[in-house]
Amino acid sequence: MSSKMDPDTSSSIVDSDADEEHNPQSSSSTAPSPYIIYGKNEIANDKDDRVTSTVVVMPRKEENWRDNNLILTLGENYFENSKPIEGFLSQDERSIRNYWGNPRKFTTPSDRDVKQYGLSVDKKYVKVPPRKTILTHTEEFIGLCKGILANFNSIPSLVASLITVNVGYENVYFSRCVLTITNNSDSCIFLEAGSPVAKVTFIITGPMEQKYKDVDALKTLMNTWNVETLVTINKN
């Protein structure tokens, strides 16, 4: 469901001949102990001239980094089912597209909602009805090479708001995370674009054999990303 990061075919993106001098944890060196947490200083970002990390996050917002995790924020594109469907086949692209319908965007609030709920006129929101689910994505693009695991966790304020967030991410891809967000309450809930939606911790689980090579190539993937990615089944 995203742009594939294949070290065998995407040489402009992944550097399989990375210099071991700059990659002390390469496959030829002693494998690191399992479950070492990657801190914010080890993560590459979109300001690097050359990506020298096995973890890439773009765009990088310094205020969202903690010592051992990253706060992911909510994108402004989403799908919402608006018609009753008796059933559909899981992991079938045609069925999934039929269920979710056409993509939508978060919008600025009405004057009524600004006054009634205290929303900001210069922010964008989606209004999730009671017991309903939307399909959306993170603002951030994440890319991981071999040996790194992304572990996602909930935001406590969303848990307290009776919101459930499920995160979908392919470790061998560079893309935004796919999200389903469910309103478990009996009230409508407004979600703000750019607000915290999940936390991710990057963990070393084995030898790291490749690195991301070219920031421009990654930025090209970011610029060509399309919301239809959320409902596309990658068969590779």
Q: Over the stretch 151-160, which tens digit does the pLDDT of each residue have? A: 999 999 999 9
> Six-digit token pair at 141?
């693009």
The predicted pLDDT at position 137 comes to 97
162 in Cβ contact with 185 (< 8 Å): yes
For residue 108, name the pLDDT band (cuts at 50, 70, 90).
Answer: very high
Give pLDDT tens digits for 124-148.
Answer: 999 999 999 999 999 999 888 767 7
**pTM for the full predicted model:** 0.78
89 vs 4, 83, 94, 103, 152, CA distance in Å? 24, 16, 9, 20, 27
Q: Which has the minimum average pLDDT: 79-88, 196-205, 212-221?
A: 212-221
Percentage, residues of the chain above pLDDT 90: 46
The predicted pLDDT at position 51 comes to 46
CB atoms within 10 A of CB 204: 21
Return the closest-CA partner of residue 205 out of 127, 149, 143. Answer: 149
User: What is the separation of C-alpha 12 from the centre of its chain, rounded to a whole number of angstroms?
Assistant: 22
Strand ranges, E, within the chain: 14-15, 36-38, 55-58, 70-73, 77-80, 104-105, 125-128, 133-144, 148-153, 163-168, 174-183, 189-192, 196-204, 211-212
The predicted pLDDT at position 6 comes to 38
Q: What angle do CA 90, 229, 102 make, to 5 degrees?
A: 80
13 in Cβ contact with 214 (< 8 Å): yes
All domains of the chain in start order, with CATH:
14-231 (2.70.40.10)
193 in Cβ contact with 11 (< 8 Å): no
